[in-house]
Amino acid sequence: MESDLVPFAHTPIPHLKQFTLVNQTPQIKALMTILRNKDTPRRDFVFYSDRLFRILMEEGLAHLPFSEEIVETPTGAKYTGLKFESKICGVSIIRAGESMENALRQICPHCRIGKILIQRSEDGLAIPKLFYTKVPKDISTRQVLLLDPMLATGGSAIVAIEELIKLGVPENRILFLNLLATPEGVDTVLSRFPSMRVCSICLDERLNEQKYIIPGLGDFGDRYFGTDY
């Protein structure tokens, strides 16, 4: 559902219509508490991340365009329902975004998956560079779900979105899905691409001077894939 709730009112987001915050239920807060805890073991971190990704995918799919479809039920009655207007393609930003692919496949088992590799500096200050892209040839005809768990400065997201647009994907067919977002990141992305959408599980407070998300949960890729030790 769309929400006008911004949990940190001193940092407003001017693009609320294009930003969806997943309904902040007690379950969401409980699962996020597990992920934020620095002492959570990797096995639990992966398990509960995957649960949240399923919730995020379901929310994201609800915002894709649908068209009317009439079917016949087993009772012989006609039912007027809905169907997706076009095929879907997930595109993960390597490597953290790859953690979200299983959740998408579980919901859309025939969904195509593309990859974008972007190198960014550890301090987040240098301009990210595009190194590799592999997507379906017909991606310009599909609804694209761009996958990356963390939206911090928005630098990598902008590079990925620009690449998708160069490949013929209309801006309004791109939906960026992430676990954590910052007001700065959402503002940066949607100011640059006002026709696309961003959907997040949580909107965190801010970026600190080192460009880390606060309160955050650390380096998601390292914790998920076990490279933080």
Burial class for 135, CB neighbours closer than 10 Å (0-12, 13-18, 19+): buried
Q: Is residue 90 part of a domain?
A: yes
Chain segment 109-151, per-residue pLDDT in tens: 989 999 999 987 665 556 789 999 999 999 999 999 999 999 9
Chain segment 57-87, per-residue pLDDT in tens: 999 999 888 999 999 999 999 999 998 888 9
Average pLDDT (95-103) is: 95
Q: Is residue 6 part of a domain?
A: no
Q: Is residue 211 part of a domain?
A: yes
Could you tell me the residue range of the domain that residue 179 belongs to? 16-225
Q: Is residue 76 part of a domain?
A: yes
Residue 176 has pLDDT above 90, yes or no: yes
DSSP 132: E
What is the reported pLDDT for 123?
A: 55
Distance, in Å, from the CA atom of 26 to the CA atom of 127, rounded to the nearest integer, reads 38
In total, the chain counts a number of residues equal to: 229
Chain segment 178-194, per-residue pLDDT in tens: 999 999 999 999 999 99
Q: How many Cα atoms are found within 13 Å in the side-chain-facing hemisphere of 67?
A: 4
The CATH number given to whatever domain includes residue 196 is 3.40.50.2020
Q: Is residue 3 part of a domain?
A: no
Number of structural domains the chain divides into: 1
Q: Is residue 4 part of a domain?
A: no
Measured between alpha carbons, how far is residue 137 from residues 1, 26, 98, 141, 201 in Å? 32, 42, 20, 9, 30
